[in-house]
Every structure is written in C-alpha cells, then in structure tokens.
Amino acid sequence: MADTPMNVLLILSDQHSVGALGCYGNDQIATPHLDQLAAEGAVFDNAYCQGPLCVPSRTSLITGQYCRNHGVYDNQHILEANSSTLPRWLGEHGYRTCLIGKAHFNGEQYHGYQQRPYGDLWGQAHQPDPAWTLSKGESGLGDLIGQSGPSRIPLALTQTEICVAEAAKWLLYHVDRAPNQPFFLSVQFDKPHFPWNPPARYFDPYVDRVALPAFDDEELVRAVPFVQAAASRAPHRFDGNGHSEADHARTLAAYYGCVSWVDDAVGRLLEMIRYLGLAGRTLIIYTTDHGDMLGAHGLWQKTVFFESSSRVPLMMAGPGIPQELRVADPVGHIDLFPTVCQWTDTPVPDGLDGVDLTPGLVGLPIGRDAIFSESVVLKQPEYAGCMIRTGPWKYNYYLDGSEELYQLLDDPGETHSLAGSMGHAAIQRELRGRVQAFWEPAQQRSRYDRTPRMRREKHFYRWSNQFVGSGGEIFNGRP
C-alpha cells in the first residue's frame, strides 16, 4: 500500500457484458481506455456478480454479502437503512465519500455515502430517448429493440456526460478544500443498460459491422423452466417477438456504441485523476453490476446464469499492482468490501462473505476454490436458482429441482448441459450437495418474502435522475 491513505475511485457501469471488451477478447469493439486500465493493472478473468439483476447485485457489492444473507433478490426489495455498507464503513474511518450516478437504492437513498449530488434519487436512472411514453404498466422506455439507435437527447443532458461533469466538480473541490483527507468516490453510469441509444458518433462505427451470435431456435423449448420464465420477461430472438434479425443486429450495434461511450467517459475520469496528481495514491476499480445476453442463446438482458449474464468484467489498477496481471481465481463483488478495507488500512468488519483479493493483485493464490451466485426471475419468486463456479465447472440448481452442468473449458458457449449424463454423475452429485448446503433451497421463498418491497417502483417516476442543490433541495433532471 502507501504511506499516505489510499483514495478509491470505483467506476460501476450497468449491464456490461464481459464479452464486450477488448481486454476480454472482443476484437470488434473499441474500448481503448478500459483496455489501457487493464494493461496498467490486474484483470480478473473469472469474476461473477452475486445476483444477475440490478438491485441484488448492487446490494451484494455494497454490503459484501451474498443475497441469502442480505435478503435482497428483486428490484423492488429494500435494504435496511442502517445496514453496514462499504461507504458507511469508510466514512466512519475518516474517508470522504460520494456517489455520482445510478445506485438503484430502494427506500433510503444514501446508505452511508455522505454526498449524492446527482443520480436516481427518485427515478430509474435510465433516460427515455427522446420522449416519455408512460402509460399504465409501462416504464417509459418504449420498444427496446425497435427504438435502438442514435440518441436524440442533447449530449450535455445525458446521464453519462453529467456523471463525468459532476465527478470533475467534486474532485476539484476535494483537491482545493480537503486534499489531505482520503476519498471514496463512486461514479456509476447507467449505460450500457437499455435504452440502447448512444450518441451517433459511437453508434455509427458499428452499424452493419457487428455479428450476432448463432443460436439454436429450438433451445428455448429445451431450456429449464427458470430460463423460459426469464426469457418471457425480456426481448428475445425467438419467433413471435415481432422483430427481425436486422433489428437485433442494430440493437447489438447500439449496445456496442453504449459501451464505447462509457469507455470514453472512463478515459476522461482517469485523465482527471492523473491531471490532479492523484494517480500515485488512488486505487481504481472498474466493474459492472451484471452482464447482458446480447442475443446469445437467443436472449437479451440478464437474471440467467449464462456467462454473458452472470460473469462480469473486473479490473483494478493502482500503486503496487503489477501491470498486465491476469487473475484466474473465482471471485465476486462480495470481495470488493474486504479488499478496499485492506488497501485503505481500514479494519474489516464482521459479517462479510467476501475475501481480500490482495494476494491475487500481487500474483499469489487468493485461496478460494468457488464462487456462488443466486437469482430470482423478476417478480416471479417461484423461479429461483443458485449457481456455483469452481474450476472448469458451472453447476446451476433451481427450486423446481432442475439442474444444469457445464464444463466451460470444453463448452465455453454453454451449449450442452451435462446434467443427467452418467459419465458426470459424481461431479453433479458433489456440486449439488455444495449448492444445497450453501443456498438452503427450502428457505429461499421465506428469505424472499420477508424482505420489504417498494410499492412504487422507481421505473414509474416521470424523471430519470435528480440533482441535489447546494442547500439540500432535490430537483429533477430532464429527461
């Protein structure tokens, strides 16, 4: 670490598929700034979110706990206001803390952050582009596939650009007024989550130049009920959805454009850190809450355990971290809390499920052989499951008793489940036992039901983001 307290800049995007990054092997997409960050530090090749849905995943990150322990499984679930969180813990140990952008907190809107100058305090963070089309039962985001394409919102009014501007303002204040106090700044973009509408200069390079992944049009029929239920809640490429393959290809181009937009924004944040002389004592972390299927297996969006949905990009750079380091150990968002504690010389509180990743950041084994993830199909708690990733194996167990087993070295696309195969009965039995011992499926529905829920979702508030004025007043940003 360093003699002076370490600052932390956490950059969190939304729904960034691990496959949509140059440093993770995609040669179609332009992500030069994130690729440079990866080259300057460590890339975790087997990082997983603890719940492939916004609120559960973000809750695990901020609390350092699995869903089974914090109880949040749905986007309407509420985390208790006095919960132990990473920003609250750092604030109690002398850090100045700030959140800019999307948090997707339900109920209490700070959870230990001392400042929130801009973000989804009342709204959903995702800006309808260009017009609000709210009617009963809709979120105002429109036809996600049919409306994908270049943004029509003035650039300076977009959430991405406002996050960069607010971060610049906050950092300038910090170096002028509190230069000796360490900070924890979290900048949380709403992209590349839908609506998929990047500015034209990011969209145009990908139009007619990206290829959709192949899929078996009978796959959904054979899928476990959990995957079928998840597919019913999101756009997909199977017959009957009303969109052509050209529409889906345009959507993929728009998604890639959103990723490049976020990449450019990240580059500007890192440029600020360097320019203000903070690079030598700042730990930089980039990750996302979960991935997106991007048409793989015929699906879009998340909640399923396929790699595109549950695996996440995770990279860290800072003083003492070797360049171009690749870490193969299975890790998760729950590990960020204890790792940040280590790098900020802050004691680790009781009750965390994660482990310190510092050994991996210096090329040593982390000491864990498996990571878990849990999921519930949005608003359908009868469809729930738990995943374990260990070695080359991924095993998924669901409430209805259905199972999936994949050997990822031989089958990285997860096209052939080995569940039920006589030749793999022993490993299936072993992993079933580990998942059942961890997840306790008989307790799942009670865990879900006892967590309080928002009656009015943020998705149904008219304006997506809010500002907090100098006097504490909150006013809407538009759109």
pTM greater than 0.85: yes
Q: Residue 216 forms beta bridges with which residues?
A: none
Domain annotation covers residue 327: yes
Counting as low any pLDDT under 70, the low residues of the chain are: 1-3, 131-139, 239-240
**Dist CA 77 CA 320 (whole Å):** 39
Query: What single string gives the DSSP state of each residue in 304-323?
Result: S-SHHHHB--EEEE-TTPPT
Beta strands at 314-317 and 42-44: parallel, antiparallel or unpaired = antiparallel
Domain annotation covers residue 175: yes
Q: Are 78 and 452 in contact (CB under 8 A)?
A: yes
Q: DSSP secondary-structure letter at 77?
A: B
Domain annotation covers residue 120: yes
- Domain holding 265: CATH number? 3.40.720.10
Domain annotation covers residue 213: yes
Domain annotation covers residue 411: no
Neighbours of 402 (CB within 10 A): 16
Check residue 139 and give its pLDDT.
61
H or E element, residue 403: strand 403-407
Domain annotation covers residue 232: yes
Q: Residue 396 forms beta bridges with which residues?
A: 387, 404
Check residue 98 and give its pLDDT.
98
Domain annotation covers residue 402: no
Tell me the pLDDT tens digit for each residue of 218-264: 999 999 999 999 999 888 998 667 899 999 999 999 999 999 999 99
Domain annotation covers residue 342: yes
Tell me the pLDDT tens digit for each residue of 1-26: 446 799 999 999 999 999 999 999 99
Query: What single string gives the DSSP state of each residue in 222-288?
Result: HS-HHHHHHHTTS-BSSTTSS--HHHHHHHHHHHHHHHHHHHHHHHHHHHHHHHTT-GGGEEEEEEE
**Dist CA 454 CA 72 (whole Å):** 12
Residues 6+ apart with CB under 8 A from 214: none
Check residue 1 and give its pLDDT.
43
If 0-12 CB within 10 Å is exposed, 13-18 middle and 19+ buried, where does residue 364 land? exposed
Domain that holds residue 310: 7-369+461-477
H or E element, residue 41: none
How many domains does the chain fold into? 1
